[in-house]
Amino acid sequence: MKSFTKALLGLAMLGAAATTHAQNEQFVPMVGYWVGPYAAGGSGIFGGMIDYINMVNARDGGVGGVKLTYEKCETEYNNARGVECYERLKKKGPTGATLVHPLSTGITYSLIEKGTQDKVPIVSIGYGRTDASDGRVFPWVFPLLTNYWSQNTAKIKFIGSKEGGMDKLKGKKIVNIYHDSAYGKETIPVLDAQAKKYGFTVTHIPVPHPGNEQGAQWLQVRQIKPDWVILRGWGVMNPVALKGAAKVGFPRDRIIGVWWSGAEEDTIPAGDAAKGYIAAGFNVAGSNFPVIQDIKKYVYAKGKGEMEDPTRIGSIYYNRGVVHGIVTVEAIRKAQEKYGKKPLTGEQIRWGLENLTISEARLKELGAAGFMQPLKVSCLDHEGGGAVKFQQWDGKEWKVITDWITPDRDLVRPMIEQSAAGYAKEKNITPRDCSKES
């Protein structure tokens, strides 16, 4: 009887220890896509993010001693499934979801109100609703690093530099070939505003989902004879566009893709038709960065790792996932500075995100100098960066051809504030007074 009591006591202690251990965890939901038409982007980005999180757990024992955990949920880039995944995972872990990366502009739109109600930060790095950069109206949404409008103005700056100055844009013709979706349409207003400002004409040509037939669109391009084409595609639309351009003889080095059109997965299927093509990026490719080397050392060398094909490590999408991981971990670290080294709630992480600074020096410490741009988020500015680099496909790999190009803030910020104010009015939101935030 005595030994039975001892055994029971032992079991109870073991259970308590396990519970304590389980409670010292920070849960990050992985609402992503690993199959379906956009799987290449989803598997690469979530692969990089998960590998980074596992590396931080293996190398540092988590963040401030708190182990990071995650669970994957497949959305197939579908809004309804994205919401379902969010609902399923938002209360997981001892403190609920840390934050959510929906990796889809459509899903981000669907989650804005839900995240606000549930107090779960919605982080959309390089996608999502642009006017959410105004943190006064969108306290729970973080389109970090750079938003679509910033990217677009940087792109026009790049085109201007190629033409010999912004004044040379007058009279030029630009065609915007876009994915006919919320994502694709997001930059139409800023392009129109820039056309007015610089005196060029812009023609918007939509491509229906998924974009595997673009003969008519490229014939229209041939008829318009533009000086430049902006390619705002996703998934299969990108290689088909490059092949379409080759078919009508449009030079590829006059096509500027957005960062969702500028990965290896977009150019390799297009073969020779992609040679010379230029695309924007908020991260660069390459596996020589210390952060990637650490992932190889602490994750892959131990027989773990998310990528079935290890040649994808260091690709554009994979490295973008590592950027997602760095931002997530640094936001948790920042929140821990204020709230303590313990599992934190979404509300506490929101503070971490809003006060996040990743300086050049910090990037160097993280082994990511030159890998991504520095970041400084505030209550007023939920973007925190805004710059992009341009890269060119040489037939085998992406070569960076510019330094960080800053956006036209004088144009973008008033548009963001105007659009956010419209949203606030529509939803009856009183914008926060950032001077009172701490």
Partner 1 sequence: MSFFFEVLIGGLLSGVMYSLVALGFVLIYKASGVFNFAQGAMVFFAALTFVGFLEMGVWFWFAFALTLGAMVVLGLATERIVLRPLVNQPQISLFMATIGLTFVLEGLAQLLWGSQPHGLDIGIQDEPLGWISDATGMNISKFDLAAAGIAAALVTSLALFFSRTRIGRALRAVADDHQAALAVGIPLQQIWGIVWTVAGFVALVAGMLWGARNGVQFALTFLALKALPVLILGGFESIPGAIVGGLIIGASEKLAEVYLGPYVGGGIEGWFPYVLALLFLLVRPEGLFGEKHIDRV
Q: Which residues bind partner 1 (CB under 8 A)?
A: 34-37, 39-40, 43, 180, 204-213, 215-217, 219-220, 222-223, 235-236, 239-240, 243, 246-249, 265, 268-273, 308-309, 312
| Smaller CB separation from partner 1, 114 or 243 | 243
Token representation of residue 348: 């506490």
Phi, psi dihedrals of residue 207, rounded to the nearest 5°: -120, 120
**49 touches 324 (CB < 8 A):** yes
Backbone angles phi, psi at 163, to 5 degrees: -85, -10
Residue 30 and residue 74: Cα distance in Å, rounded?
8
Contact 328, 28 (CB under 8 A): yes
Nearer of residues 162 and 204 to partner 1, judged by Cβ = 204
For 30, phi and psi rounded to 5 degrees?
A: -110, 85
For the CB of residue 269, give the shortest distance to partner 1 in the complex, in Å. Answer: 2
Strand partners, 205: 177
SS3 content of the chain, % helix, strand, coil (to 5): 50, 15, 35
Q: How far is the CB of 178 from partner 1 (least distance, A)?
A: 9
In the complex, the smallest distance separating the C-beta of residue 234 from partner 1, rounded to whole angstroms, is 11
> 381 CB contacts (<8 Å, ≥6 apart)?
133, 135
Q: What is the 3-state secondary structure (H, E, C) of 133-184?
A: HECCCCCCEECCCCCHHHHHHHHHHHHHHHHCCHHHHCCCEEEEEEECCHHH
Q: Which CB sits closer to partner 1, 38 or 289?
A: 38
In the complex, minimum distance from the CB of residue 372 to partner 1, in angstroms, rounded to a whole number = 24
Shortest gap between Cβ of 210 and partner 1 (angstroms)? Answer: 5
Q: How many residues does the chain have?
A: 438
Residue 48 or 235 having the CB closest to partner 1? 235
Q: Report which secondary-structure segment, H or E, holds 78.
A: none
Measured CA angle at 248 (ends 269, 186), to 5 deg = 70
Considering the complex, what minimum distance in angstroms separates the CB of residue 86 from partner 1?
22
Distance, CA of 393 to CA of 49 (rounded, Å): 25
Asked if residues 163 and 174 have their Cβ atoms less than 8 Å apart, the reply is no
Query: Distance between CA atoms of 171 and 199, rounded to whole angstroms?
Result: 6
**Cβ 275 to partner 1, closest distance in Å?**
12
Distance CA 221, CA 219 (A): 5
SS3 358: strand
In degrees, to the nearest 5, what angle opens at C-alpha 129 toward C-alphas 126 and 132? 100
Q: How far is the CB of 35 from partner 1 (least distance, A)?
A: 5
Minimum CB separation of residue 399 from partner 1 in Å reads: 19
Q: Which is nearer to partner 1, 154 or 242 (CB)?
A: 242
Instruction: List phi, psi (to 5°) of 305.
Output: 120, 145
Output the smallest distance, CB 416 to partner 1, in A.
25
Read off the DSSP letter of residue 214. Answer: -
Closest to partner 1 by CB, 192 or 365 = 192
Angle (CA) 355 357 358, round 5°: 150
Q: How far is the CB of 172 from partner 1 (least distance, A)?
A: 20
Paired tokens of 290: 């210390």
Are 251 and 276 in contact by the 8 Å Cβ rule? The answer is: yes
Query: Which is nearer to partner 1, 245 or 344 (by Cβ)?
Result: 245
